[in-house]
Chain A
Amino acid sequence: MSLTETQIERYSRHIILEQVGGVGQEKLLNSKVLIIGAGGLGAPAGLYLAAAGVGTIGIVDSDKVDLTNLQRQIIHHTSDVGVEKIKSAENKMRAINPDVTVQTYQTRVNAQNISDIIRKYDFVIDGTDNFPAKFLINDACYFEKIPFSHAGILRFHGQLITILPGETTCYRCIFSAPPPANAVPSCSQAGVLGVLAGVIGSLQATEAIKYLLGLGKLLTGTLLTYDALEMNFRAVKLNRNPNCPLCGEKPQITKLKDEEQIVCDLKDCQC
């Protein structure tokens, strides 16, 4: 494949970069990234990955756009209220860059379907809003050996970590299981600063692109936390846990299962 005249122009600022060049751009165009959750985190990640020319972007979500989403989920516009999120997200990504092929999955990931979905992708972005999903993604990516970026946001705080399954600290190395019900409030209960989603989602997109191009140092073995009020980033080093139930020396989790815990009334939670 060689870049067309329009592509050369479109991606010129990438190509100029010593570490990217035409070779790197073609790599991006041949790459596949899956975004689980077309919400606050998925919105900036999807837009930036589309703009960057990631050739195939998958997007999983089962919800429709709600007015309460628009405060932070910038991929959806006012006119999209009531439209399926994946449709709305697909339209925006295609509008930004017609080079991108968008695969949509009108569903919620669960133990039955997740492996088949993620298997086709080079990298996964976890943009979900609940603990069961986050643990499910961690486990599924571990079994399929697909690198992914985990992130979460609440109130004024955000955190993220990149996980190369089997090689670097996984989510279960840190938290062996979801917290008890209602121990952690959800966004709909506690609120979230909209722009926080932009910051953390964009960082996830950065990690995806770095991974695809093999550039720099990935955020592995380190949980980056962000406090928007203090305007403070902290990198917390977290080693792999030999007792991790998933990737430890004596793994207890050997197949996928859906976590039972209900974080909140998911119907209202639109993180």
Chain B
Amino acid sequence: MSNTEEPILHIPQSVKEDTHGYRSGVKKFLDGQTSPVAFRAYRVPMGIYEQRTVGKFMVRIRIGAGLVLPHQLERIAQLSKTYGNGIIHITTRQDIQIHEVDIENTPDVLEGLLEAGLSSRGGGGNTVRNVTACPEAGVCHEEEYDVAPYAIAAAEYLLQDRSSFNLPRKYKIVFSGCSKDCAFASIADLGFFAHMKNGVKGFSVYAAGGLGSNPVVAAKIEDFIEAEEIFEVAEAIKRLFDKYGDRSNKHKARLRYVLARVGIEEFIKLYRAERDKLKADGLPYTVPQIRDIASVYKVPEKPINVRLRLKNGDIPADDLSKVGQIAAKYGQGLIRTTQLQDLLITGVAEEDIDKVHSELKKLSVDVFGDGSSKIVACAGASTCKLGLCLSRGLAEAISEKFSHNGFSADLPETTIRISGCPNSCGHHNIAAIGFQGKAKRVNGKLMPCYDVLVGAKTVEGDAHLGKRIGTVPAKKVPELLAEAFDAGEINEEKLKNLVGQYSDFSSGQFPDDYYYDFGSNEPFSLAGRGPGECGAGVTDVIKLDIDEAKGALKSAPANSENIYKAIIAAARALMVTFGLEPKKDREIFAAFSKGLIEPGWVKSQTQQLLDDAIDWRMGDRESIEDLFSQAEDLIKRVEELYLSLDANLKFKVEPVAKETIVEEAETHNHVIDLRGVGCPLNFVKAKLELEKLETGAILGVLLDEGEPVRNVPASFVEQGQEVLEVKNSGDHFFVKVRRKK
């Protein structure tokens, strides 16, 4: 049948055009016409991420509803072998990733994918991300009805609109076929749960959920909508997000912060207003056809689903194409990616199941698993630029431990989820047992540790995130789990007791080995996580130092010794944001001068304080007891800077040199983020935004370095507007414009 070759998700024309334009975008960058920052802003929404290995890139392909065809897998495998490392990765949001591609080859990859009806557009960045659905949608006994066609149609609808690729932050949409929520709609920006009402297909709708560093479950915004209303709902939420999402602070930009800011009642009111407007004006884009999938990809009478358990979600390219062939021959004719980073061959006939198993055994990797718990781990610090702990090393160690303990596959599955940092890529917040990497200073040295979370649940209406029950050294985790499992099932009481025991860091010494992360020969350190490389977990360490500084000042008596300790701890606290971990006092002070005093982040008089402190240390000064209040000021400023850190470890407060914080407030949140928007469209958009304001009002504009910041403020001046400030914020600029006319 020829129509089984037709891609399930139809890539809209505009996305095709953007993909065809990508080659010239790369060329401009390689020719030096585009700055690296501007190029990054262009590349990430195209689904191309830089990996930790400099110069190597990852391509994230959106697999709508997790449904992919054999010939598409073949193409992915072939591209990975030609341009990447030959290993394919399945993500927790059903995407498929090709790794280690050189930038000059990324256009070939994107064009090759497009030929097979695949796209990475919106794979990353502030975009409508992959629209996911239950991995067994259409072949599940418990579902209300097949939600995959709706997930696909919703994606097709939103992808038509280029503004879907320039939102305040990412926008994740999920469809679950029933309240059990296998797709995790309860933690999505927009989650749909299938329901039938008087024989009519529809959904209950939840919004503004999300994991990340401040995880929260989604809130209900609709009891029941008819299935055809999904487009209007998705469009309304997109518009609400676009209008009220905080573009000036990436850290607080997701939809859930809008809800947190305005409250649920106001949020629903805003949502209603957008829907009413859409009802009046009609939808701005063509509503795609909702195409039935089951009638094209048929299943036998008693279908069997075969799950391929992939370690870390990885599968060699050759194996991937073979899986496609097996699915084509014996299965439904399509392959599914799952939220557990597995693959699923659905619709195998009973009589074929042995053949499928024997074919799968021929693969180069074991896809049946040893029966131990499924472990989902994010990429971790080994490849992720944001990582803190080596989460995959821990996953490996747990597997190792479990295989020795002889767990059996027949037991109910307990999913273990590990994130190397608080960014939740391993979804530790929704696991039966979750682990979140963090660094702890123990006996003066950094130790890789994990927060332990239990009791999470993702069921419609009763979803809640895991509760933190303690922090344990990374090296203790495998042992902890082995002990806490009773006959393959987690014994929560036992686990809590054990975590309680292991959480005690005060009691004396730890083996040297505890200061090394899994699979690393270097003592655990946060050094090297320089600017641009987020580390929400890094902030914990800063907090520790600040607390230590405060503690030292508070401790009686307020003698020179304690004041000195406080100054050292305060000075050390923020160095990690520069990728530094100075050990000696002199190094700490030198780094502080260079990183914080010279650029004006702390007042220049602080240098005198540091010099006096060193003098006292060297015996050149009698006492520093008179510097108590200055030390207090220093801690206060360091804390201020710490609290202002954004996801890129940049300070968002103003340098002391120009205390323009008052002016910042004057923009009244009229801020437009035009990073990644080229000339002259950035000026066009900024100007349109300024036109919306009253004369005299101030607009904040975020711009890329290079051409944008050279041109946009100049254009405003030329047109008689007043440019109040052009401020360098690291890799971008903040420009303040007052409307004069």
Contacts and interface: CB of A to CB of B under 8 A. Distances in A.
Interface of A: 3-6, 8-9, 12-13, 15-16, 18, 21-23
Q: Which 8 A-B pairs have the closest CB atoms?
A: A22-B688, A18-B719, A5-B163, A12-B684, A15-B684, A22-B691, A5-B162, A21-B691
A31 B446 CA distance: 68
A12 B680 contact: yes
B688 A15 contact: yes
Contacts of B162: 5-6, 9
Contacts of A18: 718-720
A99 to B, nearest CB: 12
Interface of B: 161-163, 166, 284, 680-681, 683-685, 687-688, 691, 715, 718-720
A16 B715 contact: yes
Contact of B688 (A6, A8, A13): A8
Contacts of A22: 687-688, 691
Nearest to B683: A16
B680 to A, nearest CB: 6
A8 B681 CA distance: 8
A45 B238 CA distance: 39
A22 B691 CA distance: 7
Contacts of A8: 681, 684-685, 688
A16 B690 CA distance: 12
Contacts of A6: 162
7 contacts: A8-B681, A8-B688, A9-B162, A16-B684, A16-B687, A18-B719, A22-B691
Contacts of B715: 16
A230 to B, nearest CB: 37
Nearest to B680: A16
A4 B166 CA distance: 13
B14 to A, nearest CB: 9
A4 B242 CA distance: 13
B691 A23 contact: yes
Contacts of A21: 687-688, 691
A1 B681 CA distance: 20
Given A5-B163, A8-B681, A16-B715, 4 more contacts: A5-B161, A5-B162, A6-B162, A9-B681
Contact of A4 (B284, B680, B681): B284
Contacts of B718: 18
Contacts of B685: 8
B239 to A, nearest CB: 11
Of B162, B166, B684, B718, the most chain A CB neighbours within 10 A belong to: B684
B126 to A, nearest CB: 14
A6 B284 CA distance: 11
Tell me the interface secondary structure of chain A in the complex: helix
Contacts of A9: 162, 681, 684
A212 B684 CA distance: 21
A6 B161 CA distance: 9
A180 to B, nearest CB: 54
A217 B687 CA distance: 25
A143 B575 CA distance: 79
A3 B688 contact: yes
A5 B160 CA distance: 11
A3 B681 CA distance: 14
A23 B163 CA distance: 21
Contacts of B681: 8-9, 12
A6 B719 CA distance: 24
Nearest to B165: A5
B284 to A, nearest CB: 6
A4 B161 CA distance: 10
A15 B686 CA distance: 10
Contacts of B691: 21-23
B288 to A, nearest CB: 18
Nearest to A1: B281
B737 to A, nearest CB: 14
B624 to A, nearest CB: 59
A22 B685 CA distance: 9
Contacts of B720: 18
Contacts of A5: 161-163, 166
Nearest to A19: B719
A8 B719 CA distance: 19
Contacts of A4: 163, 284
Contacts of B166: 5
A4 B239 CA distance: 12
A267 to B, nearest CB: 44
B365 to A, nearest CB: 44
Of A13, A16, A23, the most chain B CB neighbours within 10 A belong to: A16
Of B162, B688, B720, the most chain A CB neighbours within 10 A belong to: B688
Nearest to A11: B684
A23 B687 CA distance: 10
A12 B682 CA distance: 10
A228 B720 CA distance: 39
A12 B162 CA distance: 15
A214 to B, nearest CB: 15
B84 to A, nearest CB: 33
Contacts of A16: 680, 683-684, 687, 715
Nearest to A5: B163
Contacts of B688: 3, 8, 15, 21-22
A21 B689 CA distance: 11
A18 B681 CA distance: 15
Nearest to B163: A5
Nearest to A18: B719
B163 to A, nearest CB: 4
Contacts of B719: 18
A22 B166 CA distance: 20
Of A4, A13, A22, A23, the most chain B CB neighbours within 10 A belong to: A22
Contacts of B680: 12-13, 16
A18 to B, nearest CB: 4
A3 B687 CA distance: 13
A18 B720 CA distance: 9
Contacts of B684: 8-9, 12, 15-16
A27 to B, nearest CB: 12
A16 B691 CA distance: 12
A225 B73 CA distance: 68
Nearest to A14: B684
A8 B684 CA distance: 7
A124 to B, nearest CB: 30
Contacts of B687: 15-16, 21-22
B244 to A, nearest CB: 15
A164 B132 CA distance: 60
A22 B686 CA distance: 10
A168 B43 CA distance: 57
Nearest to A17: B719
Nearest to B688: A22
A6 B715 CA distance: 22
Contacts of B161: 5
A179 B683 CA distance: 53
B42 to A, nearest CB: 15
A8 to B, nearest CB: 6
A3 B688 CA distance: 9
A10 to B, nearest CB: 10
Of B166, B687, B720, the most chain A CB neighbours within 10 A belong to: B687
Nearest to B14: A6
Nearest to B715: A16
A142 B683 CA distance: 42
A3 B691 CA distance: 12
Nearest to B166: A5
A26 to B, nearest CB: 10
Nearest to B161: A5
Contacts of B683: 16
Of A4, A5, A23, the most chain B CB neighbours within 10 A belong to: A5
B701 to A, nearest CB: 15
Nearest to A22: B688
Contacts of A12: 680-681, 684
B401 to A, nearest CB: 52
A121 B691 CA distance: 27
Contacts of B284: 4
